[in-house]
Amino acid sequence: MSFTILKVQFVCSGSIDMRKSREETAATRRKIVVTASKEFRKKGIAETGLKELMLASGQQTPGGFYKHFGSKEQLVTEAMNYGFERMLGQMEASIEGAHPKEAFETLICNYLSPKHRDRLGEACPLSALGSELRRLDDETGVVAADGMKKFIALLAEQMKGASSEQARKKATAVLSAMVGAVVLSRLAKSAAMSNSILKDTREFILQS
Amino acid sequence: MSFTILKVQFVCSGSIDMRKSREETAATRRKIVVTASKEFRKKGIAETGLKELMLASGQQTPGGFYKHFGSKEQLVTEAMNYGFERMLGQMEASIEGAHPKEAFETLICNYLSPKHRDRLGEACPLSALGSELRRLDDETGVVAADGMKKFIALLAEQMKGASSEQARKKATAVLSAMVGAVVLSRLAKSAAMSNSILKDTREFILQS
DNA sequence: TGTACATCAGTGAACGCGCGTTCACTGATGTAC
DNA sequence: TGTACATCAGTGAACGCGCGTTCACTGATGTAC
């Protein structure tokens, strides 16, 4: 048996190590995007400060932020992009190999679930940030609009019975109901009301 | 013919009149609530400053704000209350005397219209502020949740064919689709896409 | 492979700015006689 | 009804605070020889 010690690093209380390896730098950048993506969805974009974000990403001070991004706006764009790709990726994974009808039901039931409602950090950006998205800069707006289009396309693909035009129209309305229901369920003041918004909308869509 | 001049007031460039009559004071307060209600919906709550709000309400400085309200939060609560009452009042007025089926269609078509989408200052607070509402203080949250409940009840009333329980369930899902569609239509980057979101959702609801 | 030096990720303090809020002041309104 | 005085809506400047952003500095990493 043989061990090769590539690197031994002692990290003390204060700031010891300065410049990081390229690998570590890339990891830090990724960490910031992922953390931002979650925090923005949880607390809102304007309400999430860069200092807080850097601390949550394992940094000790906010100053290093601008070694990775040109501005907060740029991070918002990247975080939004990551959020949509992550969500769409998970949705695609959840229906891999399933038949269209079953796949459609899986997508709707996962989206309209208490779990999705409650796990804001991992939630769909459309429902988590909905009304805020229209006020972001152009580039981020395009990212959000593209995410929405891809989501509609994913839903439409599971409607093999209908023509592609009919499928797109129904998928559009279904996504509207999904997003609205999750937004409203997070607004409800009682658990019963909140759950029933999800359930009523689920049944409405699946019976249509 | 006789004229009775009750009051002649010369308003010059600077600040001339100090203390206002009770009537004027009440008018100022009302103006602030109405202005806030519109600006919050247009630009977001965190993004709308008190100084800006006071200027838009005809005041010269922000200092007088606290003669009317204890805090910005209190104004948010009142503005939200006003916004919901106004919207629900207009909706009820729009279907006065109509038969249920026709009334239902009128509500859906007005809500899912380009006019409603574009006139943010007069829009439904649920679609204008949607995802922001869940982060407001408790009192405002209750106002929003009550507004949502009243909206569902108004929709349910127009479904005389179904049992009251069935009506409530369908109304809940229909409101979800309405709110979601308007949020998404404001996110779309092309007019065609935006209009089709409204149209597709309108047809989906009315065919259900 | 070993040494000398440039690079640059992260630190920590500072910057200007606009926010919500406070306050001394003003003077017409409203009240008491 | 007329006069004297207290009230208080609105003014305008100031407050502390946290924000996004900048910058001189540090020292391990990565590069050149």
Residue A6 banded pLDDT, cuts 50, 70, 90: very low
Query: What span, in angstroms and rounded, lies between the C-alpha atoms of A167 and A154?
Result: 10
| pLDDT one-digit tens code per residue, B26-50 | 999 999 999 999 999 999 999 999 9
| pLDDT one-digit tens code per residue, B68-95 | 999 999 999 999 999 999 999 999 999 9
Long-range contacts of B99-105 (CB under 8 A, 24+ apart): B100/B157, B100/B158, B100/B159, B100/B160, B101/B158, B103/B158, B104/B155, B104/B158, B104/B159, B105/B206
Residue A68 contacts strand C, CB under 7 A: yes
Residue A111 has pLDDT above 70, yes or no: yes
Q: Which chain B residue has its CA at the smallest distance from A187's CA?
A: B134
Nearest to B199 by CA among B35, B191, B121, A43: B191
Contact: A148, B188; criterion CB under 8 Å: yes
The pTM assigned to this predicted structure is: 0.91
Burial of B164 (0-12, 13-18, 19+ CB in 10 A): exposed
> Coil, strand or helix: which one is A59?
coil
A46, A175, A201: residue with CB nearest B184: A175
Q: Which residue is nearest to nucleotide D22 (CA to C1')?
A: A63
Q: Which nucleotide is nearest to A64 (CA to C1')?
A: C10
* Average pLDDT over all residues of chain B: 91
Query: What span, in angstroms and rounded, lies between the C-alpha atoms of B116 and B122?
Result: 8
- Which chain B residues in 29-88 sit with Cβ < 7 A of strand C? 48-52, 62-63, 65-66, 71-73
Of the given ranges (A41-50, B16-25, B107-116, B158-167), which has the lowest mean pLDDT? Answer: B16-25
